[in-house]
A and B are shown apart, each in its own frame.
Chain A
């Protein structure tokens, strides 16, 4: 059932899920499948699978400025236009209506619609391992994760089996194998680089990316058509999103009520029961306020927004924000860095090409600090992601000359090239944080979120190492014109925000327990990126989904036992 505007609905549900992105969609589906009458709240508009992907089948020449933005659009939306193009822009929140404050430069890239950023995500799916879950404990940064790999492993499988992940098992302890569909294929230059890396660095390998793009039909979706236009929404259902998968599955149970245009302004605390009674919602179209109540609340508004909602939920019990006994709420914000890497060209394989636009690249799994090394220049590690392709007009257009010869070069395959960069772990720093500025309000009267984040010495040293190792691996493989780079992208640039309501054993130093429950309010669960105790270096969405499924299972078990 859909509700919007003034239509009357029951104000009481078994469960409320705040946010319909990658983790909220999972929460809604799991709770609905377990028989819970569930209200799914989304601040943005509805986006129905296929029918609301207006640009999905457009060709480059169907757009006015091709895939470019107008100058006015760029000026109005300086953040959005860095990350979207004319084809995907309707799935990125505009900067005008959704301002935030930057203590230091930070790109907060949001997807305010049903499905959230699951429509535009990078689709990379990597498991964390005990190297990651034990990292904080080992080197003393942040607090220890309250879980280990064995706690989440079955849930990784559960999620992979549902969403469909293509990938190659590699039998690595620190990057566990999964339940994969057939892998996508490496091309000539990538195979060459892989062979060279294995030869020169016995401890490293290169593998095809593990992605939620379907190499065969799965759950009534796909297969992927290799168009590489994923971020416009896929009319083939070739990749996983809330819209294509979890939300339809939730609807199928008959237990889901979806309410778009609904900003949750706060969680309501009930002193008598010591639980959350429900949420307060602002209808973004009518500005009316509604209250909905439920036995269980799942917060999945995304790392920064979830922290914002909790900080704005003040009561006599929680004067500093909901569940914030530890004072850690909003702190320990992390994002992966992905600025440093190297690129180069290769003169071999001139007689080989490829057909199709594979929607992913390759991965060189983490190889630094796999065993404790007191001499290491930095803590933790990074993986390297990249792809190989032949130069096209985008690069050949920079050639000298004009006329028929220039045109011939422009329209023929150029040299092979590889671009690759390190996706690096970011330590949890207490002073990287989000807070609210109560003097500045958005158009719905909610205080603006202020973000204070920077990468520090450990990340910078890691970036230097990434530049060095990437360059070396390309040189060893015979690449030419090697350029090692550091784009120095500001925080938020990888769009992997995490950590603002971290999990931990101790209520004095963490917000959530090992089941993603708020320590002091057991009927509120947070399973988006804010729960992350450390960032590891793996793309995090798979972990959010697995933690969500696990927490939903736990929540329903606890409800049955009358513990919530």
Chain B
């Protein structure tokens, strides 16, 4: 508790006013480029499929996670999240062009894998507290948000809940302690 509080103070002191101003300047206050987002639906579908691929159960594409992500960014997010997400997506495309000479969607599986590995590694600090503060100031990093929405979109979709997970629509009884079955999937809803 105390350690956490003092860390916060340290950080508050460390982030000088000018740093914050610089960050806002960089992020800008322009309207989020929603049109760009809509045009990138196939790319988002591929990104989501990399996170939750089709295996012996349906994957993110089967669950139409791309539709959910675009709706959540468009209707279910504040401007800061929208800007962050769209900016992050543009940066990812730039990264793909710079290092793999292709738009993400045209990259080989191996290249895509390397791109996601890079993003997985570089998203966020190693410290949970630093991440919390950074998220509050700057919004969630693109890849963290993408992964979150992919997981939620998949696990609350019909194929995700019913085939990827175990969906018990009307349980009837509550069985408090049952032996775990072979290859037991977790419950889709709490």
A150 at the interface (CB under 8 A from B): no
* Chain A residue nearest to B155 in the complex (CB): A393
Q: A65-B71, A69-B76 are in contact. Are A393 and B151 (CB under 8 A)?
A: yes
> Which residues of chain B from 122 to 162 have a CB within 8 Å of any chain A CB?
147-148, 151-153, 155-158, 161
Stretch at the interface among A351-359, A366-374, A493-501, A535-543: A351-359
Q: Give Cα distance in the complex from A225 to B174, angstroms.
A: 8
A185 at the interface (CB under 8 A from B): yes
Q: Give Cα distance in the complex from A509 to B49, angstroms.
A: 67
Q: A69-B76, A394-B190 are in contact. Are A411 and B57 (CB under 8 A)?
A: yes
Stretch at the interface among A111-119, A135-143, A398-406, A515-523: A398-406
Q: Which of A68, A351, A390 contacts B76 (CB 8 A)?
A: A68
Contact indicator per residue, chain A 185-198, by CB within 8 Å of chain B (1) or not (0): 11110010000000
A407 at the interface (CB under 8 A from B): yes
Q: Which residues of A contact B189 (CB under 8 A)?
A: 60, 228, 357
Q: A65-B71, A352-B179, A357-B189 are in contact. Are A393 and B165 (CB under 8 A)?
A: yes
B88 at the interface (CB under 8 A from A): no
Q: Give Cα distance in the complex from A356 to B169, angstroms.
A: 9
B15 at the interface (CB under 8 A from A): no
Interface residues on A, range: 35 or more
Is B175's CB under 8 angstroms from A397's CB?
Answer: no
Is A60's CB under 8 angstroms from B187's CB?
Answer: no
> Which residues of chain A from 406 to 426 have a CB within 8 Å of any chain B CB?
406-408, 410-414
Is B78's CB under 8 angstroms from A406's CB?
Answer: no
Q: Which residues of A contact B113 (CB under 8 A)?
A: 403
CB distance from B40 to the nearest CB of A (A): 18
Is B75's CB under 8 angstroms from A407's CB?
Answer: no
Is B157's CB under 8 angstroms from A392's CB?
Answer: no
> Which residues of chain A from 376 to 403 have a CB within 8 Å of any chain B CB?
389-390, 392-394, 396-397, 400-403
Is A356's CB under 8 angstroms from B151's CB?
Answer: no
Q: Give Cα distance in the complex from A120 to B153, angstroms.
A: 26
A487 at the interface (CB under 8 A from B): no
CB distance from B1 to the nearest CB of A (A): 7
Is A185's CB under 8 angstroms from B174's CB?
Answer: yes
CB distance from A538 to the nearest CB of B (A): 24
Is B180's CB under 8 angstroms from A350's CB?
Answer: yes
Is B156's CB under 8 angstroms from A355's CB?
Answer: no
Is B51's CB under 8 angstroms from A356's CB?
Answer: no
Q: Give Cα distance in the complex from A186 to B155, angstroms.
A: 27
B120 at the interface (CB under 8 A from A): yes
Is A65's CB under 8 angstroms from B75's CB?
Answer: yes
CB distance from B15 to the nearest CB of A (A): 23
Is B53's CB under 8 angstroms from A354's CB?
Answer: no
Q: Which residues of A contact B72 (CB under 8 A)?
A: 65, 68
Q: Which residues of B contact A186 (CB under 8 A)?
A: 176
A152 at the interface (CB under 8 A from B): no
* Chain B residue nearest to A397 in the complex (CB): B151
Is B1's CB under 8 angstroms from A484's CB?
Answer: yes
Q: A61-B161, A402-B147, A411-B57 are in contact. Are A355 and B116 (CB under 8 A)?
A: no
Q: Give Cα distance in the complex from A406 to B49, angstroms.
A: 12
A549 at the interface (CB under 8 A from B): no
Q: Which of A72, A226, A354, A414 contacts B172 (CB 8 A)?
A: A226
Q: Give Cα distance in the complex from A350 to B174, angstroms.
A: 19
Q: A356-B174, A403-B50, A407-B52 are in contact. Are A228 and B190 (CB under 8 A)?
A: yes
A70 at the interface (CB under 8 A from B): yes
Q: Which of A352, A402, A404 contacts B116 (CB 8 A)?
A: A402
A556 at the interface (CB under 8 A from B): no
Q: A356-B168, A356-B171 are in contact. Are A70 and B76 (CB under 8 A)?
A: yes
Q: Which residues of A contact B158 (CB under 8 A)?
A: 59, 61
B77 at the interface (CB under 8 A from A): yes
Is A60's CB under 8 angstroms from B174's CB?
Answer: no
A98 at the interface (CB under 8 A from B): no
Q: A59-B158, A71-B78, A403-B53 are in contact. Are A355 and B178 (CB under 8 A)?
A: yes
Is A411's CB under 8 angstroms from B76's CB?
Answer: no
Q: Which residues of A contact B178 (CB under 8 A)?
A: 352-355
Contact indicator per residue, chain A 171-205, by CB within 8 Å of chain B (1) or not (0): 00000000000001111100100000000000000
Is B51's CB under 8 angstroms from A406's CB?
Answer: yes
Q: Which residues of B contact A187 (CB under 8 A)?
A: 176-177
A220 at the interface (CB under 8 A from B): no
B170 at the interface (CB under 8 A from A): yes
Is A355's CB under 8 angstroms from B1's CB?
Answer: no
CB distance from A194 to the nearest CB of B (A): 12
Q: Which residues of A contact B188 (CB under 8 A)?
A: 60, 392-393
> Apart from A66-B152, A350-B180, what 14 extra A-B contacts exist at CB < 8 Å?
A69-B76, A187-B177, A227-B171, A351-B179, A351-B180, A353-B179, A354-B174, A356-B173, A357-B168, A393-B186, A401-B120, A402-B120, A410-B155, A412-B185
Residues on B lying within 8 angstroms of A by beta carbon are: 1, 50-53, 55, 57, 59, 68, 71-72, 75-78, 113, 116, 120, 147-148, 151-153, 155-158, 161, 164-165, 167-181, 184-190
10 cross-chain pairs, A with B, having the tightest CB-CB distances, nearest first? A356-B171, A397-B151, A356-B174, A185-B176, A60-B156, A355-B175, A393-B155, A226-B174, A402-B51, A226-B171
